Structure 1
Amino acid sequence: MKEALNRSDDGSDVDVVSIYDLLSFAEFYLGNTKSAAMYTEQLLQHYPSHERALSNMAVLNGLKEQSPEQFIDEQLPYYEYDTMNMGEREVYEATCREGRPYPPEMECKLTCFYYNGANNPRLIIQPVKVEVVYLSPNIYILRDILSEKEMERLKELGGPAMKRATVTNTDSNGFYKYAKYRISKSAWFNPEDDEQGYLAEIDQRIEDVTGLTLETAEPLQVCNYGIGGHYEPHYDFAMEGVHRHILDAVTLGGSGNRIATVLFYISDVEKGGATVFTELGLRIPPSKGDAAFWWNLKKSGEGDVRTRHAGCPVLVGSKWVCNKWIHERGQEFRRKCDLNKDL
């Protein structure tokens, strides 16, 4: 990966074949022969006559005959995948490569359904396709929630206005700064910024599907991640008592904490770029036109630490997303509170 970025910086061409070649070499050098074989096979799918890949495949096949155990999938059952004994960096990187299997008691309960917002007139004719991808906390994928024209409009608006994304400075008084753990470009938009009306339609759809008001929500953020672009594990909500100035920045003068996140995928990504939840082992690959939705806060108003998530590095391609952070104020009768801290 580092070598791919270096070649990109010095003006060299970095294409799919080159990256698969470098990944295969790196995995073989680290002793991961199974992964090296996988990347070599993928390279040959793009370029069947690649001489070095053909030669490497012959070597790997020879190793497979001598030591077949090196090529066996060693994915552990769920109960043996112990994140408590792994550092967050290890969990993050492992989940970016492959999500953890669902607990058996959960897998049979994951469902797909059509949702019309309790007979919302705008959703009766065209209900939303919802896929439940995790229980406790509830995480959903809203399939085909954006049209092709809407996604193109978001890119059209975002492209010229983008600047490098920043984070809140935890060492001072809340001013924003650049950070190595968040490499992307972003731009912010309100509905009135789009004279064609697409942003207003998207906001209305978010309200219809979530049942929440956007009166205190943040503007829509459009982001682009190039090769190597990523966002390391973080929470979308601010933790009270840790850094008070961050909470003040997020709550936007009385709007409350970020109660929920809607993350739209407005492009596919050829390799990498998944959204992963490090506490859950959940991996969501980008899927153009879909959106992920989750609650950042429990019904008690307490931040749900299980929603810690990250954007994995983009290895091949370009990742376009946009997100809407919805705040607490105005939701009092839309998502009622609960004294049970576990809900």
Structure 2
Amino acid sequence: MARVSQIDAENQREIAALNRHVLARLEADTSVEKLVDENLQLFGVADFFSAEECERLCDLIDRVARPSPVFDVDYGRSSRTSYSGDMDPSDPFIRMLHRRMDDLLGVEENFGETLQGQRYEVGQQFKAHHDWFDTDAHYWTEKVATGGQRAWTLMVYLNDVEEGGTTDFPRVNVSIPPQRGTLIAWNNALDDGTPNVDTLHAGTPVLAGVKYVVTRWYRSRRWY
């Protein structure tokens, strides 16, 4: 147990240092809008991906989309009903988008997981959840050894949705509607590097149309 506690403490220090760097970077970027800065550090960037890039990503998602997995299988059967799939990290197009996201945060590419695409059809959703890993869960030993905690989440809407499909943060009473090309980013940790419960968020059910998004999670250390 002492060994695990020591590893967790080290990971928290890494997250805290990374987040200080990223926050300074975002706050200095005039293209970045601060959406929330109380209990949750949430940012937005309009037109982060072009219309052509969004359309191309939608096509790629359709090729790789499968029923979306979650870490807790029993919980996931009813909570995450979308389709998802990882993009090819060796694809020059995907690497270009990776670099743009890396530059936004000011981090190296290998801190970010591979870009994941998600498609939500009518009635599909992802109920309220956190992106950070539960350090008491069975999978934590593996995750902390292969990149550590998820420090930041970057998500980009790829299309406008006819109705529904908002991203809601219930603990801070914020709801963000899908807008093509718009990126939202949030810090998954508190200042001390521990998980922030106020990052609880949900992809609400699509009521009309189809919703496409891509998500990239950044770890506290190099991911592999």
- Quickly name the TM-score band, shorter chain normalised: 0.7 to 0.9
Q: Tell me by how many angstroms 1:226 deviates.
A: 0.1
Q: Tell me by how many angstroms 1:149 deviates.
A: 1.9
Residue of structure 1 equivalent to 2:34 = 132
Under a length normalisation based on structure 1, what TM-score does the superposition of the two structures give? 0.54
Residue of structure 1 equivalent to 2:175 = 283
Instruction: State which of 112, 115, 118 in structure 2 corresponds to 1:220.
Output: 115
What letter is aligned with 2:208? V
Residue of structure 2 equivalent to 1:56 = none
* Residues 226-255 of structure 1: per-residue CA shift (max 9 Å, x gap): 0001000100001222x2x2324544x331
Alignment map for 1:7-26 (pairs within 5 Å):
none
Aligned equivalents of 1:132, 1:116: Cα separation in 2: 9
The total of aligned residue pairs comes to 198
Q: Which has the higher contact order (CA 8 A, sep 6+)?
A: 2
Whether the 8 Å contact between 1:117 and 1:211 is mirrored in structure 2 is: no
What letter is aligned with 1:311? G
What letter is aligned with 1:272? G
The alignment partner of 2:181 has SS state of coil
Residue of structure 2 equivalent to 1:166 = 69
Q: CA RMSD in A?
A: 2.3
Instruction: State which of 310, 323, 335 in structure 1 corresponds to 2:202.
Output: 310
Aligned structure 1 segments of 4 or more residues deviating by more than 3 angstroms: 115-118, 248-251
Alignment map for 1:1-343 (pairs within 5 Å):
129-136=31-38, 137-169=40-72, 179-192=77-90, 194=91, 197-241=92-136, 243=137, 245-248=138-141, 250-251=143-144, 253-330=145-222
Aligned equivalents of 1:283, 1:264: Cα separation in 2: 15
Q: Tell me by how many angstroms 1:142 deviates.
A: 0.9
What letter is aligned with 2:167? T
Q: Tell me by how many angstroms 1:116 deviates.
A: 8.8
Residue of structure 2 equivalent to 1:60 = none
Structure 1 residues 149 and 248: alpha-carbon distance in aligned structure 2, compared to 1, 3 A threshold? farther
Under a length normalisation based on structure 2, what TM-score does the superposition of the two structures give? 0.81
Give the gaps of 5 or more residues in structure 2. 1-24
Whether the 8 Å contact between 2:190 and 2:196 is mirrored in structure 1 is: yes
Aligned equivalents of 2:147, 2:222: Cα separation in 1: 8
* Residues 56-90 of structure 1: per-residue CA shift (max 9 Å, x gap): xxxxxxxxxxxxxxxxxxxxxxxxxxxxxxxxxxx
Structure 1 residues 288 and 277: alpha-carbon distance in aligned structure 2, compared to 1, 3 A threshold? same
Give the gaps of 5 or more residues in structure 1. 1-114, 119-126, 172-176, 332-343
Whether the 8 Å contact between 2:155 and 2:214 is mirrored in structure 1 is: yes
Q: Larger strand proportion, structure 1 or 2?
A: 2
Aligned equivalents of 1:178, 1:302: Cα separation in 2: 24
* Residues 210-241 of structure 1: per-residue CA shift (max 9 Å, x gap): 11223132111000000001000100001222
Identity %: 30
Structure 1 residues 249 and 232: alpha-carbon distance in aligned structure 2, compared to 1, 3 A threshold? farther
Instruction: State which structure, 1 or 2, has the greater radius of gyration over its C-alpha atoms.
Output: 1
The alignment partner of 1:207 has SS state of helix
The alignment partner of 2:63 has SS state of helix
